[in-house]
Amino acid sequence: MNILKKIIGWTLITTSFVFMSTIALLATVTFLYPDLLTIGWYDEITESVRDLLKNTEIIYAVIDFFIIFFIISLFLYFAGKKIINKDFSVHTYIIVFLIFVLIGTSLQSYIISKKYAGLTIPFNGEENESNIPNQYKDILDEYINNGSVGVQMAISTPENQWITSSGFADCDKTKKITNDDLFMIGSVTKVYTAVAILKLYEDGKIQLDDEISDFLPQNIIKNIANGDKITVRQLLNHTSGLKNYVYITYKGWEDGSIKYLSAEENIAYIYNLPADFEPGSAFNYSNSNYLLLGIILKNVTKEASAYDAINQIILQPFDLNHTFADSEKKVNVEGCKIKEDTNNAYNVSSIDFNAVGGVDMTDGGMISNAKDVLIFFNLLVKGEILKPETFNLMQTWVTPEYPNVENRTQYLGYGLGLTKIKTDNLTGIGHYGMVYSFNSLVYYFPEKETTIVILNNTHSPKIEGVHMGNNIYNKL
Protein backbone atom coordinates (compact mmCIF):
# COMPACT_ATOMS: atom_id res chain seq x y z
CA MET A 1 0.00 0.00 0.00
CA ASN A 2 2.87 2.38 0.79
CA ILE A 3 4.41 1.73 -2.64
CA LEU A 4 1.10 2.52 -4.36
CA LYS A 5 0.77 5.76 -2.34
CA LYS A 6 4.29 6.77 -3.37
CA ILE A 7 3.59 6.05 -7.03
CA ILE A 8 0.38 8.12 -6.92
CA GLY A 9 2.04 10.92 -4.99
CA TRP A 10 5.08 11.21 -7.20
CA THR A 11 2.88 11.00 -10.30
CA LEU A 12 0.83 13.96 -9.09
CA ILE A 13 3.95 15.97 -8.24
CA THR A 14 5.60 15.22 -11.58
CA THR A 15 2.38 16.10 -13.39
CA SER A 16 2.27 19.43 -11.58
CA PHE A 17 5.81 20.23 -12.74
CA VAL A 18 4.97 19.30 -16.33
CA PHE A 19 1.79 21.42 -16.21
CA MET A 20 3.71 24.41 -14.85
CA SER A 21 6.38 24.11 -17.53
CA THR A 22 3.75 23.78 -20.24
CA ILE A 23 1.96 26.87 -18.96
CA ALA A 24 5.17 28.89 -19.14
CA LEU A 25 5.90 27.75 -22.70
CA LEU A 26 2.32 28.24 -23.90
CA ALA A 27 2.16 31.72 -22.40
CA THR A 28 5.51 32.70 -23.94
CA VAL A 29 4.57 31.51 -27.43
CA THR A 30 0.96 32.73 -27.33
CA PHE A 31 1.65 36.27 -26.22
CA LEU A 32 5.16 36.94 -27.47
CA TYR A 33 5.47 34.81 -30.61
CA PRO A 34 1.98 34.11 -32.04
CA ASP A 35 3.47 33.69 -35.55
CA LEU A 36 5.20 30.54 -34.31
CA LEU A 37 1.88 28.85 -33.64
CA THR A 38 2.35 26.71 -36.75
CA ILE A 39 4.47 24.22 -34.83
CA GLY A 40 3.04 20.76 -34.23
CA TRP A 41 -0.58 20.43 -33.21
CA TYR A 42 -1.00 24.21 -33.10
CA ASP A 43 -1.16 24.11 -36.90
CA GLU A 44 -4.94 23.61 -36.88
CA ILE A 45 -5.68 26.61 -34.63
CA THR A 46 -3.08 29.11 -35.87
CA GLU A 47 -5.44 31.52 -37.60
CA SER A 48 -8.05 31.27 -34.85
CA VAL A 49 -5.50 32.11 -32.17
CA ARG A 50 -4.20 35.09 -34.15
CA ASP A 51 -7.72 36.43 -34.58
CA LEU A 52 -8.68 35.80 -30.96
CA LEU A 53 -5.63 37.57 -29.59
CA LYS A 54 -6.76 40.76 -31.33
CA ASN A 55 -9.71 40.84 -28.87
CA THR A 56 -8.94 42.22 -25.39
CA GLU A 57 -11.74 40.24 -23.73
CA ILE A 58 -10.38 37.06 -25.23
CA ILE A 59 -6.91 37.87 -23.92
CA TYR A 60 -8.37 38.17 -20.40
CA ALA A 61 -10.07 34.80 -20.88
CA VAL A 62 -6.76 33.24 -21.97
CA ILE A 63 -5.05 34.72 -18.90
CA ASP A 64 -7.84 33.24 -16.74
CA PHE A 65 -7.19 29.87 -18.38
CA PHE A 66 -3.51 30.05 -17.46
CA ILE A 67 -4.37 31.04 -13.86
CA ILE A 68 -6.77 28.10 -13.52
CA PHE A 69 -4.13 25.77 -14.94
CA PHE A 70 -1.63 27.19 -12.45
CA ILE A 71 -4.00 26.57 -9.52
CA ILE A 72 -4.59 22.99 -10.71
CA SER A 73 -0.83 22.48 -10.90
CA LEU A 74 -0.42 23.71 -7.31
CA PHE A 75 -3.25 21.45 -6.18
CA LEU A 76 -1.60 18.43 -7.82
CA TYR A 77 1.70 19.33 -6.20
CA PHE A 78 0.34 19.67 -2.65
CA ALA A 79 -1.93 16.61 -3.05
CA GLY A 80 1.03 14.54 -4.16
CA LYS A 81 3.18 15.87 -1.33
CA LYS A 82 0.44 15.04 1.20
CA ILE A 83 0.05 11.49 -0.09
CA ILE A 84 3.74 10.63 0.20
CA ASN A 85 4.03 12.65 3.40
CA LYS A 86 7.05 14.48 2.01
CA ASP A 87 7.68 18.12 2.82
CA PHE A 88 9.36 20.00 -0.04
CA SER A 89 10.70 23.47 0.52
CA VAL A 90 9.57 26.26 -1.74
CA HIS A 91 13.16 26.51 -3.00
CA THR A 92 13.09 22.89 -4.11
CA TYR A 93 9.82 23.39 -5.95
CA ILE A 94 11.13 26.49 -7.75
CA ILE A 95 14.41 24.79 -8.73
CA VAL A 96 12.66 21.72 -10.18
CA PHE A 97 10.15 23.97 -11.97
CA LEU A 98 12.95 26.04 -13.53
CA ILE A 99 14.74 22.88 -14.70
CA PHE A 100 11.60 21.79 -16.55
CA VAL A 101 11.18 25.27 -18.08
CA LEU A 102 14.84 25.33 -19.15
CA ILE A 103 14.52 21.93 -20.86
CA GLY A 104 11.28 22.93 -22.59
CA THR A 105 12.56 26.33 -23.69
CA SER A 106 15.78 24.84 -25.06
CA LEU A 107 13.80 22.29 -27.05
CA GLN A 108 11.46 25.02 -28.32
CA SER A 109 14.40 27.22 -29.35
CA TYR A 110 16.05 24.32 -31.17
CA ILE A 111 12.86 23.54 -33.13
CA ILE A 112 12.37 27.18 -34.07
CA SER A 113 15.99 27.68 -35.14
CA LYS A 114 15.99 24.55 -37.28
CA LYS A 115 12.52 24.60 -38.78
CA TYR A 116 11.42 28.22 -38.71
CA ALA A 117 14.62 30.20 -39.03
CA GLY A 118 13.09 32.07 -41.96
CA LEU A 119 10.70 33.83 -39.62
CA THR A 120 13.51 35.91 -38.20
CA ILE A 121 15.36 36.76 -41.41
CA PRO A 122 14.71 40.43 -42.28
CA PHE A 123 15.76 42.38 -45.34
CA ASN A 124 18.99 43.93 -44.09
CA GLY A 125 19.90 45.76 -47.25
CA GLU A 126 20.12 49.16 -48.83
CA GLU A 127 17.02 50.95 -50.06
CA ASN A 128 18.91 54.17 -50.60
CA GLU A 129 19.39 54.81 -54.32
CA SER A 130 22.77 56.50 -53.78
CA ASN A 131 24.31 53.40 -52.19
CA ILE A 132 23.46 50.98 -54.98
CA PRO A 133 26.43 49.97 -57.17
CA ASN A 134 26.44 51.55 -60.61
CA GLN A 135 26.36 48.25 -62.50
CA TYR A 136 23.02 47.45 -60.83
CA LYS A 137 21.64 50.87 -61.70
CA ASP A 138 22.64 50.10 -65.30
CA ILE A 139 20.23 47.16 -65.29
CA LEU A 140 17.33 49.45 -64.46
CA ASP A 141 18.48 51.96 -67.04
CA GLU A 142 18.46 49.25 -69.71
CA TYR A 143 14.78 48.58 -69.05
CA ILE A 144 13.85 52.28 -68.96
CA ASN A 145 15.90 53.14 -72.05
CA ASN A 146 14.11 50.41 -73.98
CA GLY A 147 10.68 51.78 -73.15
CA SER A 148 9.72 50.29 -69.76
CA VAL A 149 7.36 52.53 -67.82
CA GLY A 150 8.36 51.19 -64.41
CA VAL A 151 10.68 48.56 -62.99
CA GLN A 152 11.56 47.32 -59.53
CA MET A 153 14.68 45.32 -58.65
CA ALA A 154 16.16 43.55 -55.63
CA ILE A 155 19.62 41.96 -55.49
CA SER A 156 21.43 40.08 -52.75
CA THR A 157 25.11 39.13 -52.67
CA PRO A 158 27.29 37.78 -49.83
CA GLU A 159 28.20 41.41 -49.07
CA ASN A 160 24.81 43.13 -49.04
CA GLN A 161 21.24 43.38 -50.29
CA TRP A 162 19.78 46.19 -52.38
CA ILE A 163 16.35 47.16 -53.57
CA THR A 164 15.61 49.97 -55.97
CA SER A 165 13.05 51.09 -58.53
CA SER A 166 12.84 53.40 -61.49
CA GLY A 167 10.12 54.92 -63.64
CA PHE A 168 6.41 55.18 -63.03
CA ALA A 169 3.53 53.16 -61.59
CA ASP A 170 1.03 54.41 -64.19
CA CYS A 171 1.10 54.37 -67.96
CA ASP A 172 0.61 58.15 -68.13
CA LYS A 173 3.83 58.56 -66.13
CA THR A 174 2.44 60.77 -63.39
CA LYS A 175 3.08 58.61 -60.33
CA LYS A 176 6.63 57.59 -59.42
CA ILE A 177 7.09 53.90 -58.71
CA THR A 178 8.26 52.94 -55.20
CA ASN A 179 10.00 49.95 -53.66
CA ASP A 180 6.77 48.97 -51.90
CA ASP A 181 4.52 48.93 -54.97
CA LEU A 182 2.93 45.60 -55.87
CA PHE A 183 3.26 43.82 -59.23
CA MET A 184 1.70 40.77 -60.80
CA ILE A 185 4.51 38.20 -60.74
CA GLY A 186 3.11 35.90 -63.43
CA SER A 187 4.66 32.45 -63.64
CA VAL A 188 7.01 33.10 -60.72
CA THR A 189 3.80 32.04 -58.93
CA LYS A 190 4.64 28.50 -60.03
CA VAL A 191 7.60 28.40 -57.63
CA TYR A 192 5.29 29.11 -54.68
CA THR A 193 2.78 26.52 -55.89
CA ALA A 194 5.50 23.89 -56.30
CA VAL A 195 6.96 24.64 -52.86
CA ALA A 196 3.52 24.29 -51.25
CA ILE A 197 3.05 20.90 -52.94
CA LEU A 198 6.52 19.81 -51.80
CA LYS A 199 5.71 20.84 -48.22
CA LEU A 200 2.77 18.43 -48.39
CA TYR A 201 5.19 15.82 -49.74
CA GLU A 202 7.48 16.39 -46.75
CA ASP A 203 4.50 15.99 -44.41
CA GLY A 204 3.66 12.63 -46.00
CA LYS A 205 0.31 13.85 -47.33
CA ILE A 206 1.26 13.34 -50.95
CA GLN A 207 3.80 11.36 -52.95
CA LEU A 208 5.32 12.72 -56.13
CA ASP A 209 4.55 9.60 -58.11
CA ASP A 210 0.95 9.37 -56.90
CA GLU A 211 -1.55 9.58 -59.72
CA ILE A 212 -3.47 12.84 -59.75
CA SER A 213 -6.71 10.87 -59.85
CA ASP A 214 -6.12 10.28 -56.11
CA PHE A 215 -6.61 13.99 -55.42
CA LEU A 216 -8.84 15.40 -58.17
CA PRO A 217 -12.59 14.95 -58.64
CA GLN A 218 -13.84 12.64 -61.34
CA ASN A 219 -15.45 15.45 -63.30
CA ILE A 220 -11.92 16.71 -64.01
CA ILE A 221 -10.14 13.36 -64.36
CA LYS A 222 -12.59 11.93 -66.90
CA ASN A 223 -12.41 15.07 -69.06
CA ILE A 224 -8.64 15.56 -69.37
CA ALA A 225 -6.37 13.42 -71.51
CA ASN A 226 -4.71 10.58 -69.56
CA GLY A 227 -6.28 11.78 -66.33
CA ASP A 228 -5.91 8.31 -64.85
CA LYS A 229 -2.18 8.09 -65.70
CA ILE A 230 -0.63 11.48 -64.94
CA THR A 231 1.35 11.82 -61.70
CA VAL A 232 1.96 14.79 -59.42
CA ARG A 233 5.60 14.87 -60.51
CA GLN A 234 4.58 15.11 -64.16
CA LEU A 235 2.45 18.17 -63.41
CA LEU A 236 5.34 19.79 -61.56
CA ASN A 237 7.89 19.29 -64.36
CA HIS A 238 5.53 19.75 -67.33
CA THR A 239 5.78 16.19 -68.63
CA SER A 240 2.04 15.44 -68.35
CA GLY A 241 1.30 16.00 -72.04
CA LEU A 242 -1.70 18.22 -71.23
CA LYS A 243 -2.58 21.06 -73.58
CA ASN A 244 -1.78 24.58 -72.42
CA TYR A 245 -5.10 26.35 -71.82
CA VAL A 246 -3.37 29.73 -72.37
CA TYR A 247 -2.91 28.91 -76.07
CA ILE A 248 -6.71 28.73 -76.27
CA THR A 249 -7.47 31.87 -74.26
CA TYR A 250 -4.66 34.05 -75.65
CA LYS A 251 -6.80 35.41 -78.49
CA GLY A 252 -8.88 37.06 -75.78
CA TRP A 253 -5.74 38.63 -74.35
CA GLU A 254 -5.02 40.23 -77.71
CA ASP A 255 -8.50 41.55 -78.47
CA GLY A 256 -9.44 42.35 -74.85
CA SER A 257 -12.26 39.81 -74.62
CA ILE A 258 -10.50 37.61 -72.04
CA LYS A 259 -12.92 36.54 -69.31
CA TYR A 260 -12.32 36.65 -65.57
CA LEU A 261 -12.46 32.96 -64.64
CA SER A 262 -11.40 30.68 -61.81
CA ALA A 263 -8.79 27.93 -62.16
CA GLU A 264 -11.48 25.26 -62.44
CA GLU A 265 -13.27 27.25 -65.15
CA ASN A 266 -10.05 27.81 -67.10
CA ILE A 267 -9.01 24.15 -66.91
CA ALA A 268 -12.28 23.29 -68.68
CA TYR A 269 -10.79 24.77 -71.87
CA ILE A 270 -8.67 21.61 -72.28
CA TYR A 271 -11.52 19.17 -71.63
CA ASN A 272 -11.71 16.41 -74.22
CA LEU A 273 -8.65 17.66 -76.09
CA PRO A 274 -6.03 15.07 -77.10
CA ALA A 275 -2.73 14.91 -75.25
CA ASP A 276 0.42 16.31 -76.83
CA PHE A 277 2.22 13.10 -75.82
CA GLU A 278 2.07 10.20 -73.37
CA PRO A 279 2.70 11.26 -69.74
CA GLY A 280 6.41 11.22 -68.89
CA SER A 281 7.62 10.80 -72.46
CA ALA A 282 8.44 14.42 -73.31
CA PHE A 283 8.38 18.02 -72.04
CA ASN A 284 5.94 20.79 -72.91
CA TYR A 285 5.45 23.86 -70.72
CA SER A 286 1.76 24.00 -69.91
CA ASN A 287 0.02 26.33 -67.48
CA SER A 288 -2.73 23.75 -67.18
CA ASN A 289 -0.42 21.63 -65.02
CA TYR A 290 -0.18 24.29 -62.34
CA LEU A 291 -3.91 24.99 -62.27
CA LEU A 292 -4.40 21.31 -61.47
CA LEU A 293 -1.70 21.48 -58.77
CA GLY A 294 -3.67 24.30 -57.16
CA ILE A 295 -6.82 22.18 -57.08
CA ILE A 296 -4.77 19.38 -55.52
CA LEU A 297 -3.48 21.81 -52.86
CA LYS A 298 -7.03 22.78 -51.99
CA ASN A 299 -8.29 19.19 -51.80
CA VAL A 300 -5.39 17.75 -49.80
CA THR A 301 -5.23 20.58 -47.25
CA LYS A 302 -9.03 20.89 -47.10
CA GLU A 303 -8.62 24.65 -47.11
CA ALA A 304 -11.35 26.81 -48.64
CA SER A 305 -9.09 27.55 -51.61
CA ALA A 306 -5.64 26.78 -53.03
CA TYR A 307 -4.66 30.35 -52.26
CA ASP A 308 -5.60 29.80 -48.61
CA ALA A 309 -3.31 26.76 -48.62
CA ILE A 310 -0.39 28.80 -49.99
CA ASN A 311 -1.05 31.43 -47.34
CA GLN A 312 -1.05 28.85 -44.56
CA ILE A 313 1.94 26.85 -45.81
CA ILE A 314 4.28 29.62 -47.03
CA LEU A 315 3.23 33.26 -46.76
CA GLN A 316 2.17 33.44 -43.12
CA PRO A 317 4.81 31.18 -41.54
CA PHE A 318 7.62 33.01 -43.32
CA ASP A 319 6.27 36.50 -42.76
CA LEU A 320 5.89 37.37 -46.47
CA ASN A 321 3.54 40.21 -45.70
CA HIS A 322 3.80 41.88 -49.11
CA THR A 323 3.04 38.75 -51.14
CA PHE A 324 -0.58 37.91 -51.87
CA ALA A 325 -2.30 34.75 -52.99
CA ASP A 326 -5.68 36.41 -53.07
CA SER A 327 -8.06 36.85 -55.99
CA GLU A 328 -9.55 39.99 -54.42
CA LYS A 329 -6.21 41.77 -54.07
CA LYS A 330 -5.21 44.11 -56.90
CA VAL A 331 -1.84 45.61 -57.74
CA ASN A 332 -1.29 49.35 -57.33
CA VAL A 333 0.85 49.46 -60.49
CA GLU A 334 -0.71 49.69 -63.95
CA GLY A 335 0.22 47.18 -66.63
CA CYS A 336 1.27 48.92 -69.84
CA LYS A 337 1.67 47.92 -73.49
CA ILE A 338 3.75 49.94 -75.95
CA LYS A 339 2.19 51.01 -79.24
CA GLU A 340 4.97 50.22 -81.65
CA ASP A 341 4.05 52.95 -84.11
CA THR A 342 4.11 55.74 -81.48
CA ASN A 343 6.08 54.25 -78.57
CA ASN A 344 3.28 55.46 -76.29
CA ALA A 345 2.17 53.27 -73.39
CA TYR A 346 -1.47 52.38 -72.79
CA ASN A 347 -3.12 50.70 -69.82
CA VAL A 348 -4.02 47.01 -70.21
CA SER A 349 -4.31 46.17 -66.50
CA SER A 350 -7.83 44.82 -66.93
CA ILE A 351 -6.58 42.22 -69.41
CA ASP A 352 -3.87 41.07 -66.99
CA PHE A 353 -6.38 40.89 -64.14
CA ASN A 354 -8.96 38.97 -66.15
CA ALA A 355 -6.30 36.58 -67.45
CA VAL A 356 -4.80 35.51 -64.12
CA GLY A 357 -6.71 37.34 -61.39
CA GLY A 358 -9.39 34.69 -60.82
CA VAL A 359 -9.80 32.34 -57.89
CA ASP A 360 -6.87 29.94 -57.36
CA MET A 361 -4.93 30.88 -60.48
CA THR A 362 -1.86 29.12 -59.14
CA ASP A 363 -0.11 29.17 -62.50
CA GLY A 364 0.44 32.94 -62.52
CA GLY A 365 -1.94 34.96 -60.36
CA MET A 366 0.09 35.97 -57.30
CA ILE A 367 1.10 39.53 -56.40
CA SER A 368 4.27 40.74 -54.66
CA ASN A 369 7.12 43.23 -54.73
CA ALA A 370 10.80 42.66 -55.46
CA LYS A 371 11.87 42.71 -51.82
CA ASP A 372 9.41 40.01 -50.75
CA VAL A 373 10.25 37.78 -53.73
CA LEU A 374 13.94 38.13 -52.85
CA ILE A 375 13.30 37.15 -49.23
CA PHE A 376 11.25 34.12 -50.30
CA PHE A 377 13.75 32.87 -52.83
CA ASN A 378 16.75 33.32 -50.54
CA LEU A 379 14.95 31.36 -47.81
CA LEU A 380 14.27 28.65 -50.39
CA VAL A 381 17.83 28.29 -51.70
CA LYS A 382 19.27 28.44 -48.16
CA GLY A 383 17.18 25.49 -47.04
CA GLU A 384 14.92 27.43 -44.68
CA ILE A 385 11.62 26.42 -46.29
CA LEU A 386 12.22 22.92 -47.65
CA LYS A 387 14.56 20.23 -46.41
CA PRO A 388 17.82 20.14 -48.41
CA GLU A 389 16.93 16.80 -49.96
CA THR A 390 13.55 18.17 -51.09
CA PHE A 391 15.14 21.27 -52.57
CA ASN A 392 17.49 18.94 -54.46
CA LEU A 393 14.40 17.22 -55.87
CA MET A 394 13.28 20.56 -57.25
CA GLN A 395 16.50 20.53 -59.26
CA THR A 396 15.81 17.22 -61.01
CA TRP A 397 15.94 18.62 -64.52
CA VAL A 398 14.02 17.67 -67.64
CA THR A 399 15.76 19.05 -70.73
CA PRO A 400 13.45 21.13 -72.97
CA GLU A 401 14.02 21.17 -76.70
CA TYR A 402 14.15 24.94 -77.12
CA PRO A 403 16.29 26.51 -79.84
CA ASN A 404 19.07 28.81 -78.69
CA VAL A 405 18.39 32.46 -79.51
CA GLU A 406 21.29 34.86 -79.87
CA ASN A 407 21.82 37.19 -76.90
CA ARG A 408 19.15 35.40 -74.87
CA THR A 409 19.49 33.07 -71.91
CA GLN A 410 19.63 29.39 -72.74
CA TYR A 411 17.19 27.02 -71.03
CA LEU A 412 19.08 24.02 -69.65
CA GLY A 413 16.22 22.32 -67.86
CA TYR A 414 12.92 22.44 -65.99
CA GLY A 415 12.71 20.86 -62.55
CA LEU A 416 9.87 20.78 -60.04
CA GLY A 417 8.81 24.40 -60.30
CA LEU A 418 12.27 25.75 -61.14
CA THR A 419 14.10 26.43 -64.38
CA LYS A 420 17.83 26.22 -64.99
CA ILE A 421 19.34 28.80 -67.32
CA LYS A 422 22.74 29.58 -68.78
CA THR A 423 23.84 33.13 -69.45
CA ASP A 424 27.10 34.24 -71.09
CA ASN A 425 29.05 33.59 -67.90
CA LEU A 426 26.75 32.07 -65.28
CA THR A 427 24.31 29.25 -64.59
CA GLY A 428 21.26 30.07 -62.50
CA ILE A 429 18.09 28.55 -61.06
CA GLY A 430 14.78 30.34 -60.72
CA HIS A 431 11.84 31.26 -62.94
CA TYR A 432 10.63 33.81 -65.46
CA GLY A 433 7.10 35.18 -65.41
CA MET A 434 4.95 37.00 -67.95
CA VAL A 435 1.33 38.01 -68.09
CA TYR A 436 0.10 40.35 -70.84
CA SER A 437 2.05 43.41 -69.76
CA PHE A 438 3.74 42.47 -66.48
CA ASN A 439 6.92 40.41 -66.54
CA SER A 440 9.12 39.14 -63.77
CA LEU A 441 12.17 37.05 -63.01
CA VAL A 442 13.97 35.63 -60.01
CA TYR A 443 17.28 33.80 -60.39
CA TYR A 444 19.96 32.60 -58.03
CA PHE A 445 23.52 32.13 -59.31
CA PRO A 446 25.47 29.74 -57.04
CA GLU A 447 28.89 30.74 -58.43
CA LYS A 448 28.38 34.26 -57.11
CA GLU A 449 25.89 33.43 -54.34
CA THR A 450 23.79 36.19 -55.88
CA THR A 451 20.03 36.45 -56.29
CA ILE A 452 18.31 38.95 -58.58
CA VAL A 453 14.61 39.82 -58.79
CA ILE A 454 13.18 42.12 -61.47
CA LEU A 455 9.53 43.14 -61.75
CA ASN A 456 8.51 45.22 -64.77
CA ASN A 457 5.09 46.64 -65.68
CA THR A 458 5.54 47.07 -69.44
CA HIS A 459 5.59 44.79 -72.47
CA SER A 460 6.98 45.32 -75.93
CA PRO A 461 9.28 43.22 -78.14
CA LYS A 462 12.24 45.42 -77.15
CA ILE A 463 11.55 45.05 -73.43
CA GLU A 464 11.05 41.32 -73.81
CA GLY A 465 14.49 41.18 -75.43
CA VAL A 466 16.00 42.90 -72.39
CA HIS A 467 14.07 40.73 -69.95
CA MET A 468 15.01 37.43 -71.58
CA GLY A 469 18.51 38.54 -72.55
CA ASN A 470 21.98 37.86 -71.16
CA ASN A 471 23.06 41.43 -70.68
CA ILE A 472 21.35 42.04 -67.32
CA TYR A 473 23.16 39.03 -65.84
CA ASN A 474 26.50 40.16 -67.22
CA LYS A 475 26.29 43.13 -64.85
CA LEU A 476 26.08 40.97 -61.71
Model pLDDT, residue 407:
81
Q: Residues with Cβ < 8 Å from 323, sequence gap 6 or more?
A: 192, 315, 366, 367, 368, 369, 372, 373, 376
Query: Given pLDDT bands bounded at 50, 70 and 90, which one contains residue 89?
Result: low
Mean pLDDT, rounded, for 116-134 = 57
Model pLDDT, residue 48:
46
The answer on pLDDT for 287 being more than 60 is: yes
User: Each residue of 422-447: pLDDT tens digit?
Assistant: 999 999 999 999 999 999 999 999 99
Name the CATH topology of 129-474.
Beta-lactamase (3.40.710)
Asked if residues 245 and 225 have their Cβ atoms less than 8 Å apart, the reply is no
Alpha-carbon distances of 392 from 310, 386, 416, 417, 422, rounded to whole Å: 21, 9, 10, 12, 19
The answer on pLDDT for 120 being more than 50 is: no
Query: Given pLDDT bands bounded at 50, 70 and 90, which one contains residue 55?
Result: very low
Hey, how many other C-beta atoms are within 10 angstroms of the C-beta on 159? 8
Q: Which residue has the higher pLDDT, 402 or 209?
A: 209
Mean pLDDT, rounded, for 150-168 = 94
Report the range of poorest mean pLDDT among 67-76, 141-150, 353-362: 67-76
How many CA atoms lie within 13 Å of 142's alpha carbon, on the beta-carbon side?
Answer: 22
Mean pLDDT, rounded, for 299-311 = 97
Asked if residues 306 and 360 have their Cβ atoms less than 8 Å apart, the reply is yes
Query: Given pLDDT bands bounded at 50, 70 and 90, which one contains residue 35?
Result: very low
Alpha-carbon distances of 211 from 181, 235, 306, 334, 408, rounded to whole Å: 40, 10, 19, 40, 36
Query: Given pLDDT bands bounded at 50, 70 and 90, which one contains residue 63?
Result: low
Q: Please list the helix, strand and coil fractions of the chain in percent, rounded to the nearest 5, in that order.
A: 50, 15, 35
**What is the rounded CA–CA span in Å between residue 370 and residue 152?**
6
Q: Which amino acid is at 289?
A: N
**Where do the structural domains in the chain lie, given as residue ranges?**
2-115, 129-474
User: Each residue of 355-381: pLDDT tens digit?
Assistant: 999 999 999 999 999 999 999 999 999
Q: Residues with Cβ < 8 Å from 434, sequence gap 6 or more?
A: 186, 187, 440, 459, 464
Mean pLDDT, rounded, for 379-408 = 91
Model pLDDT, residue 70:
60
Judge residue 61's burial from the number of C-beta atoms within 10 Å of its C-beta, 0-12 exposed, 13-18 middle, 19 or more buried: exposed
User: Each residue of 444-458: pLDDT tens digit?
Assistant: 999 999 999 999 999
Query: Given pLDDT bands bounded at 50, 70 and 90, which one contains residue 131?
Result: confident
Report the range of poorest mean pLDDT among 102-111, 241-250, 259-268, 356-365: 102-111
Q: Which residue has the higher pLDDT, 345 or 125?
A: 345
Model pLDDT, residue 241:
97
Report the range of poorest mean pLDDT among 82-96, 97-111, 161-175, 185-199: 97-111
Model pLDDT, residue 266:
97
The answer on pLDDT for 17 being more than 80 is: no
Average pLDDT, the chain: 84
What do you get for the CA distance between the two ends of the chain, in Å? 79
The answer on pLDDT for 140 being more than 90 is: yes
